[in-house]
Structure 1
Amino acid sequence: MSACVIGHITVKDADKWAQYRAQVPATIAPWGAELVFRGLTVKVLAGEHAHTDTVVIRFPDQASVDGWYQSAAYQALIPLREQAADLVLISFSD
């Protein structure tokens, strides 16, 4: 059963966000993950949505999501991420 992480993002510092984004692929590769989508919100069709950007990353399973998120490589990026953007990360599986 595959699993995905969706990030809803509001960038606070574009330079730091670019640094963070450049380093994330190396943290997901060991977990067999792939970037599915990264883009800007065009329109909210229903309800409220405060963030401007969205990312979707597919993992082979939930264990891979958990391993990636808890990995030393990704944990090292969290301080940069927090300086760069406000975001919500959601994990789900099919």
Structure 2
Amino acid sequence: MNNAYVIGHISVKNSEMWAEYRDRVPATLEPWGAELLLRGKLVAVLGGAHVHTDTVVIRFPSLDAVSGWHASAAYQALIPLRQMAADVDLLTFEE
């Protein structure tokens, strides 16, 4: 089974709401065996174009775990907060 990764490219619209969202996400990851690998701010674009200022990388043990997490009631409850707090492009990759 291959690891899967969720990568979020983020432009924060409301820092207080974003902080609340960020604080609540880790509890939604635990049941799925996910690990938060990176929460970072963009330093430089070395090629091409990138519109977002922040990035998050989360490792999951499988694509099924990604699907389960994203569809879970715990994470679905946070999506409205995420949408108010930031513009987010959320992508999944498999190793």
* Superposition TM-score, scaled by structure 2 size: 0.98
2:17 aligned with 1:12: no
How many residue pairs match? The answer is 94
Q: Which residue of 2 aligns with 1:25?
A: 26
1:62 & 1:79 partners in 2: Cα distance?
23
TM-score (norm 1): 0.99
What is the DSSP-based 3-state SS (H/G/I as helix, E as strand, rest coil) of the residue aligned with 1:30? helix
Over 2 Å off, 4+ runs = none
| Cα distance, 1:22 vs structure 2 | 0.3
Amino acid across the alignment from 2:18: W
Counterpart Cα distance in 1 of 2:31 and 2:11: 27
Percent identity between the two aligned chains: 62
Q: Could you tell me which amino acid in structure 2 is paired with residue 19 of structure 1?
A: E
- 1:68 match: secondary structure: helix
**Two-structure CA RMSD over aligned residues (Å):** 0.3
Question: Within 5 Å, which residues of 2 pair with 1:32-51?
Answer: 32-51=33-52
Unaligned 5+ runs, structure 2:
none
Question: Does residue 1:57 correspond to 2:58, yes or no?
Answer: yes
Q: Structure 2: how far apart are the matches of 1:13 and 1:29?
A: 26
Q: Can you list the C-alpha shifts for 1:9-52, whole angstroms capped at 9, x where unaligned?
A: 00000000000000000000100000001100000000010000
Cα distance between partner residues in 1 of 2:90 and 2:25 = 14
